Amino acid sequence: MNRPASSGDPERAVNASVQHPADSAAPHGNSRRLPRWLRIVLPAALILVWFVAGSIGGPYFGKVGEVSSNDQTTYLPASADATQVQQLRGEFSDSDAIPAVLVFASTSDSALTEAQQDAVAQAVDNLASIDGVEAGTSPLIGSDDGRALEVFVPIASTADVGDTVVAVSAALREASPEGVNSYVTGPAGFSADLIEAFSGIDGLLLIVAIAAVFVILIVVYRSLLLPVAVLATSVFALTVALLTVWWLAKAQVLLLSGQTQGILFILVIGAATDYSLLYVSRYREALREHRDRGQATRVALRGSIEPILASGGTVIAGLLCLLLSDLKSNSTLGPVAAIGIAFAMLAALTLLPAILFAFGRAAFWPRRPAYEPEVVAAEHGVHTTGWWAGVGRFVRRAHRPIWAVTTLVLLAAAFGLTQLQAQGVAQSDLVLGASEARDGQQALGEHFAAGSGSPMLVIVDENQLQQAADVLLDNPGIDAVTVVSADSSAGSAPVTADGITAYGPPGTPTPTPTVVDGRVLLQGTLTDAPDSDAAAQTVREVRQTYADNGMDALVGGVTATAVDTNDASVHDRNLIIPVVLVVILIILMLLLRSVLAPVLLVATTVLSFAAALGVSAWVFNGVFHFAGADPAVPLFGFVFLVALGIDYNIFLATRVREESIAHGTREGVIRGLAVTGGVITSAGLVLAATFAALSVIPILFLAQIAFIVAFGVLLDTFVVRALLVPALFYDLGRVVWWPSRLARGSTQQSNTAGGRHA
């Protein structure tokens, strides 16, 4: 088969028209060499710029906590009841302290003795000396069975809640009498759990992710310098991205949380490494055809820039669709992650080429690519031996059974979606492993109303106080009702069906409710744990009753925040997933100049996502026995898997189209698969390893995202991209490029080289 001279360079861009005449005339010469001084200064300047930016951004890894928040109400829509209640709550009290609920429970079936109660009281009094503990600790409250005591301790919102809770817990363990277990739970206890769980992001997460990537790169390249160069590219991309995001968060342009931070770290490391692998592959190919490393660099960049920009742009477009989210935790992740991807692309297209240009073939030591243009010409740009060449021959022989069987297997796996429990999880289940706050919540529920310390909050007009209180009192999910009152020594006064009463002996003056702009704040103690399904149902019932009675009441609190968050997550999932699909489909149509090929690529990626989520549901329920999943888990899994999965299809499809122009579609599929197989598989392993590293952070959401994305990427890499897509494209032939000219075989290359293949 004769090839036109213009198509002899396998490193040319997807469209044959971008072939440079100078390269065609002298493919192995140095006719376009830059001046010597510029060849030295330009890469040195690029490396210096990145080094300086990285040096400035490095210290910010330890400062993310200064500009981040894990308070759920911070991320709710402004219109949500829970958000409005949280904003107004401070006006009813001089303190914005976070309550810690201390529970003291007998280790036996007998009631607490008077001596034990006195020792507990003394231990609580001594807590006032701990930094972060505010004045206003409540009196000790005994349980009906006499076996437990509870007390509410305010923790200053300006203090380090995690450190304060740890100090309080340690002091109680030391001072609690024999036969009594102490627990710190409530909002402060669970906040401390989250703070401790996220504490490993700056250190442990990065170390595990980088170590995993380094090992994979060592195995792939069997070289030391090249993995270091690739990892340096990823780390510098992450450092500069973090620097940018930090200042945007400082200026309150973006919201940053521990969850967003962890995803940013993993996404940048994984994406930058993937893009670097693609460039390294092109550079290695170019060094075999070009003696001059400057010429090889230009060829490698010309072959890499389109797929890298296309795949990165697709990921960014998919991530920016999160801006449509009602939840700020989702909408802010979009631009934060998009900034990370942008710097990942920039580093892979500037810093890495500069480093590899500086080292030349020595970067691949001890397996330096030889200058062998005759061998490359004999291979026609494609190796005929090796694993991926064998996969190509398998696809050629059995393309129809391959795509039929793989489709059926993926559909079977997708049936697991029916087992996915993504309706939300209790706050006590957010942190994996041991949790004193969770144990304390359980002890609290055994002896007191389980909702103590995390009441339902209701803001209502002053003239509707009693009517609003009656609605709460009539609901079996509410144990007691109080109204905030500055006149009361306890800060609130009980409300019964007969009106407001006072704490204390008969004759104690009745406190006056605190009124702000004509409204009062009621507190309803929940019968059930505030993070339980029963408590959530109570919130929904109370809201519905108020609406049915025409009352303008705002219902907030911990439980209402969880309800509003879950509702917003479901809304986001139903809205954003279709939008992401449409956006990615349009981008692929513009990139591939086709309609059918993008539809097939998106359809196979969605099928891969459904299969990954189905298998994940079985694993979560049957292996890990997770309590459920946040409604945002499918959304995040979809955005990452579809956007990142499309990456590999872009790498494959752009190379297949490039080869199809010269050799026809069916031959182009085999050649494209053989050329891209190794680099895409390596990239998939890297991305799966980096996302799997998220599991070292003991947060349920991150562990689930880690498994879904890691498993989904491997499924996409080894099944969808390696077998399903090539087999489908091969079976359909050139019609896959419909309605472009390539589908009609009207290009010169298709007519001469691809006629019998397409």
Could you write out the DSSP letters of every residue in 735-752? Answer: GGGTTSGGGGT-SHHHHH
Of 178, 198, 218, the residue that ends a domain is 198
pLDDT at 384: 56
My answer on whether 403 and 494 are in the same domain is no
Whether residue 594 lies inside any domain: the answer is yes
pLDDT tier at 32 (50, 70, 90 boundaries)?
Answer: low
Whether residue 345 lies inside any domain: the answer is yes
Comparing CA positions, the residue from 529, 528, 454, 458 lying closest to residue 495 is 458
pLDDT tier at 664 (50, 70, 90 boundaries)?
Answer: confident
Q: What is the mean pLDDT of residues 185-203?
A: 81
Instruction: List, in order, residues 6 or more apart from 439 with CB less than 8 Å away.
Output: 183, 185
Rg (C-alpha) for the chain, rounded Å, is 31
CB-CB contact of 237 with 268 (8 Å): yes
Residue 293 has pLDDT above 80, yes or no: yes
Residue 690 has pLDDT above 50, yes or no: yes
Q: How far apart are CA 348 and CA 307, in angstroms?
A: 12
CATH number at residue 486: 3.30.70
pLDDT at 3: 40
Q: What is the mean pLDDT of residues 250-256?
A: 82
Residue 380 has pLDDT above 60, yes or no: no
Of 147, 169, 198, the residue that ends a domain is 198
My answer on whether 183 and 212 are in the same domain is no
In this predicted model, what pLDDT tens digit does every residue of 414-430 receive, in sequence order?
A: 998 888 888 778 777 88
My answer on whether 265 and 190 are in the same domain is no
Residue 1 has pLDDT above 70, yes or no: no
My answer on whether 192 and 206 are in the same domain is no
Q: What is the mean pLDDT of residues 508-512?
A: 80
My answer on whether 350 and 223 are in the same domain is yes
Whether residue 166 lies inside any domain: the answer is yes
Whether residue 136 lies inside any domain: the answer is yes
Q: Which residue has the higher pLDDT, 249 or 350?
A: 350
pLDDT tier at 21 (50, 70, 90 boundaries)?
Answer: very low
Owning domain of residue 607: 394-433+583-758
**Among all chains, which residue has been given the structure tokens 């050139």?**
734
Q: What is the mean pLDDT of residues 64-92?
A: 76
pLDDT tier at 343 (50, 70, 90 boundaries)?
Answer: very high
My answer on whether 233 and 321 are in the same domain is yes
∠ CA 380-384-390, rounded to 5°: 140
- Could you tell me whether strands 519-526 and 554-556 are parallel, antiparallel, or unpaired per DSSP bridges? unpaired
Instruction: List, in order, residues 6 or more apart from 500 with CB less than 8 Å away.
Output: 483, 485, 493, 494, 510, 511, 513
Q: What is the mean pLDDT of residues 681-700?
A: 87
My answer on whether 226 and 357 are in the same domain is yes
For the ranges 41-50, 201-210, 213-222, the lowest mean pLDDT is seen at 201-210
CB-CB contact of 205 with 265 (8 Å): yes
In this predicted model, what pLDDT tens digit does every residue of 529-576 receive, in sequence order?
A: 888 889 999 999 999 999 999 998 999 988 998 898 888 888 888 899
Of 143, 163, 198, the residue that ends a domain is 198
My answer on whether 176 and 219 are in the same domain is no
Whether residue 387 lies inside any domain: the answer is no
CB-CB contact of 526 with 538 (8 Å): yes
256: helix, strand or coil: strand
Whether residue 176 lies inside any domain: the answer is yes
Total-model pTM: 0.80
Q: What dihedral do alpha carbons 489, 494, 500, 504 form, nearest 10°?
A: -50
Q: Which of 295-309, 319-333, 339-353 has the highest mean pLDDT?
A: 339-353
pLDDT tier at 745 (50, 70, 90 boundaries)?
Answer: low
Number of domains in the chain: 4
Q: How far apart are CA 428 and CA 167, in angstroms?
A: 21
pLDDT at 377: 67
My answer on whether 533 and 639 are in the same domain is no
Q: How far apart are CA 222 and CA 220, in angstroms?
A: 6
Q: How far apart are CA 20 and CA 132, in angstroms?
A: 68
In 596-692, alpha helices (H)? 596-622, 632-663, 665-692
My answer on whether 323 and 355 are in the same domain is yes
pLDDT at 209: 85
State the DSSP H helix or E strand holding residue 354, giving kind and residue range, or none if neither: helix 333-359
140: helix, strand or coil: coil
Whether residue 438 lies inside any domain: the answer is no
- Across all residues in the chain, what is the average pLDDT? 83
Residue 465 has pLDDT above 90, yes or no: yes
Comparing CA positions, the residue from 464, 467, 496, 430 lying closest to residue 704 is 430
CATH number at residue 669: 1.20.1640.10
Residue 200 has pLDDT above 70, yes or no: no
Q: What is the DSSP letter of 367?
A: S
pLDDT tier at 74 (50, 70, 90 boundaries)?
Answer: low
CB-CB contact of 469 with 457 (8 Å): no
CB-CB contact of 513 with 465 (8 Å): yes
My answer on whether 687 and 702 are in the same domain is yes
| pLDDT over 70 percentage in the chain | 89
Q: What is the mean pLDDT of residues 120-148?
A: 88
pLDDT at 183: 92
My answer on whether 504 and 644 are in the same domain is no
